[in-house]
Chains A and B, each alone.
Chain A
Amino acid sequence: MSAGDRTPPPAAPPVDPVDDRPSASAGGAGTLRRALTALWHDPPAVAGTLVLLVLLVVGLAGQWLAPAGTNDVDVDQMLRPPSGAHPFGTDELGRDVLSRVLVAARVSLQVGLVSVGIALAVGVTVGLLAGWYGGWTDNVLMRGMDVLFAFPVLLLAVAIVAVLGPGLVTATTAIGVVYTPIFARVTRAGVLAVREQVFVRAAVSIGTSDLRILRRHVLPNIAAPLIVQTSLSLAFAILSEAALSFLGLGVQPPAPAWGRMLYDGRGFVTDAWWLGFFPGAAIFLTVLAFNLVGDALRDVLDPRQLTVSEARRSTR
């Protein structure tokens, strides 16, 4: 028939990636590429990305960028306001605040990345097992996650660090544990949605091994919500690290940490505003950058994921 040589324009709105992807093979890389392209069209996200790049450089090269040593005590230069020699001023021991802020970036980023890495690895594993096998496996694992979810975030982290002893490793572990359940829940929900899809059922019917199905078919299809959750969790994890180190439960002195600098400076703040301002501004900028990127990713990848999880799971 001669009619119909005109193909309809693709006016389809962004649909759930779980529903519209018949083949899983293109999933993971495609999702990421789609996300990165979209980021470039969102000015706040570009700003966030730039801040993150600067942070990365500072995190890697902070020691060399710092104008002074982090523990160069100078009793003649105590509590000096910002000046040419000390752009962020000096603290109560005469140490250069700028240098300490720069070097502390590494700690924050490291704790944030590693703890979210732990939460991601454990949470995704738990979620995959629970969602895929269902039944008792599901029940036991997810009730365990519910238990962890039943504590306010910071309280649980404080309790864990308190018994294990303060320090970098325990703080990282504690934050990792605290953010695990959210990844387990996101993953499980994704698996349940994918499990009944035709291509997964087909893979099962031809005897593909569970591990292979999970890796090749299921994981790529739940990549979108996981990417979003990861970037938002990084923001929360860095806030949590700052809170723990404020309470003296993070990296131990004399190593500098933003939260601890605020704690130490709090008594002087009415006389030396710079002690309270710069470390806090560093935390704020870092968290803001992760949030901006995370929000942009969510808008692109997972617009329907409501703010409930975010509202339920803040930093406290």
Chain B
Amino acid sequence: MNEYIFSCRGLSKDFVLHTIDGRRVEALRGVDLDILPGEHVALAGSSGAGKSSLLKCIYRTYEPTSGTARLRLRTGELVDLTTLSDQEMAHLRGRDIGYVSQFLRAEPRRGPLDIVTRAGVSRGMDRVTAREAAAHSLRRLNIDEKLWDVHASVLSGGEKQRINLAAGTISSPQLLLLDEPVSALDPANREAALDLIGDLTTQGVAVLAVFHDVEAMERLASRIVLMRKGRIEMSGDPTLVLEVLTQGAHV
């Protein structure tokens, strides 16, 4: 049997809202999930099902309340992300575990080429290689070369999203987390972005993704995991799960 890249057991997240009488909100209730190298796992389920929470718990943007989340590093070492120190986690980010959110984080006065190049450099690439990779990726994602040194803050939502994707994928991590990375793209650009993501899987990157459209899942996923109320309800072959999903929608 293949060795997994990522494996979580009983991953749970409770929020305690001190500003609202200490109310407890259970976002994840014990998630078990293994991902193999080169496997693309798509998370499905209605909003509030816990899809983004799962990604954020793995990336430690949320601190898991309980459970384990093991990641195999490039070095072959196996670490539990839930028990790493903040500094250790910060060091793994980008290198061994990538996260591409729907929105570009505050990057007010830098151009696309600079942003993507810096992302590469921060992950240990030398500047020349990073710049080449950045240019290649931006070209592939149809970012007009005239915009490469224009401050990202003035670009369109779709352009920002593609810059974000280029930055998040410039070096191949062991595990890539994608949270609706193509939600703001028109069909042609969406196509280019999905192609890029598909290639990562071919290169052996394990991907855990949230897409809001079924078509992207059909095209990219090797497995679909259906979530409901913070738990995994079903996991399996894309066609099977999607069939159940669409039937459910008709009920």
A, B assembled together: no
Interface residues of A (CB under 8 A from B): none
